[in-house]
Structure 1
């Protein structure tokens, strides 16, 4: 072999080795780039997953989430967000405002003793009643029974004002009303059991579906937002226009439940007669309404 061929062969061999090394270097750079890219994608995926998890964790749940639901208001409601529950003869010149919380033991005591007198005045057309239903006991005592019962009352109001009144009476009854510390009305099953006492609601599939689906949960939250309206922060409270009505206290002495109920109802009637005048049949049939209070445009629509 000549020296020329030998040198040429060596040069060619060196070129092949150089080319192979370059190829290997390129492959190594590509491998490192793929590893880095994969790591970045993995980090982004983890970060994205964490971000999504944080976002989900910060999303409102339960009754707070109900505030974002599409508004669905029951029939027979008026005003902003349909939070005015006005029941009675629309021609009645008087409007009594009643503030209650379904879990409230004092409200239950009022309903059990004086509820029939209130219902009779509504039936007689003595005044209309605007019910403002609070749910503050859920916050104070814990739970969600006030809100859940209010949502169910919305489903009853969708059926009729009569169904609403009867259902509210049943919820406050001695048979069903739970201790304030027992959040029994948080259970739909309990609310439906109470509804069995109301002919309009018993086996009413539309009503049952509305309770179980929470159709009026958003409406209940809109009602809840009225807490503190007209300065009222306790229940039961009674107002005529901007005037708070006050009942006499029951004497602190031993008595039967029947005696207590009799005194409580007498005090309620006394309070109402003092504000609205004697009821029909107690003053020669003239009636006792004084009309809308001076300077008040519409007490039923005031906030």
Structure 2
């Protein structure tokens, strides 16, 4: 074979090799573009889903607290945000801010319930309950809101104290949003004689007092309180008093009653 022919074949082989290299490079670039495009599409889709989910949650939150502000029957205090228990003539007032999903609130109620009942029944103490939804905000869900609305519905028919106690006695774990289900709240109402009326059911299912609960929670947030429960006796925070006991509370109330 002549030197010229060998040179021609080598040049052809080189051209073929170069062409294969160009094709490989083009194919690699195409794959990168396809994968990159897919990633962009996935990220865009995730962003859309995130926006829709956030909007859905926001819309649900708005729906939960939408509607006219309807205070429960007999509510008093600033903006009618307090549910009173006990005689109005009592010389001592216990102001309690609570959340029905709050474990610390349950601990307070379990420890002080019988003493508070004794003092309110005797006319020595009146209690003003304020309802908050702190755990809904911290843990997610709507159980605090729905339970507070149901308690306000119970107040409408004169059954708040008993239903209030039932809700704390049957409180689910903090992360369990069981009270978001109206069926659960109505089921627990069966533990209170005469509460499961059609009026109560409709009030719970319609969220009649949701906007009132939202306003109560807003007052809690603006009150400078450190958390729930917040318990004030005649304006003094006694929950922060490490020496406070049910017996000491009783003694303070009885002393004020005799003064």
What TM-score, normalized to structure 1? 0.62
In 2, Cα distance between equivalents of 1:139 and 1:230:
17
What residue ranges of structure 1 are gaps of 5+ in the alignment? 1-53, 251-265, 279-287, 292-303
Q: Could you tell me how far 1:132 is from its partner in structure 2?
A: 1.3
Partner of 1:165: 161
Distance 1:239-1:248 versus aligned 2 partners, 3 A rule = closer
Note if contact 1:248-1:267 (Cα within 8 Å) is conserved in structure 2. no
Q: Could you tell me how far 1:63 is from its partner in structure 2?
A: 3.2
More helix by share: 2
Note if contact 1:66-1:221 (Cα within 8 Å) is conserved in structure 2. no
In 2, Cα distance between equivalents of 1:268 and 1:239:
14
Q: Could you tell me how far 1:83 is from its partner in structure 2?
A: 0.8
Indicate the SS of the match to 2:245: helix
Partner of 2:192: 198
In 2, Cα distance between equivalents of 1:167 and 1:122:
16
What residue ranges of structure 2 are gaps of 5+ in the alignment? 1-51
In 2, Cα distance between equivalents of 1:59 and 1:237:
29
How many residues align structurally? 206
In 2, Cα distance between equivalents of 1:194 and 1:127:
27
Q: Could you tell me how far 1:90 is from its partner in structure 2?
A: 1.2
Note if contact 1:138-1:146 (Cα within 8 Å) is conserved in structure 2. yes
Partner of 1:225: 218
Distance 1:66-1:199 versus aligned 2 partners, 3 A rule = same
Distance 1:82-1:88 versus aligned 2 partners, 3 A rule = same
Q: Could you tell me how far 1:218 is from its partner in structure 2?
A: 1.2
Q: Could you tell me how far 1:178 is from its partner in structure 2?
A: 0.3
Note if contact 1:247-1:267 (Cα within 8 Å) is conserved in structure 2. no
What TM-score, normalized to structure 2? 0.72
In 2, Cα distance between equivalents of 1:270 and 1:121:
12
- In the TM superposition, 1:1-303 aligns within 5 A as 61-160=59-158, 163-173=159-169, 176-202=170-196, 204-228=197-221, 230-246=223-239, 267-273=245-251, 275-278=252-255, 288-289=256-257
Q: Which stretch shows the higher mean deviation, 180-189 or 74-83? A: 74-83
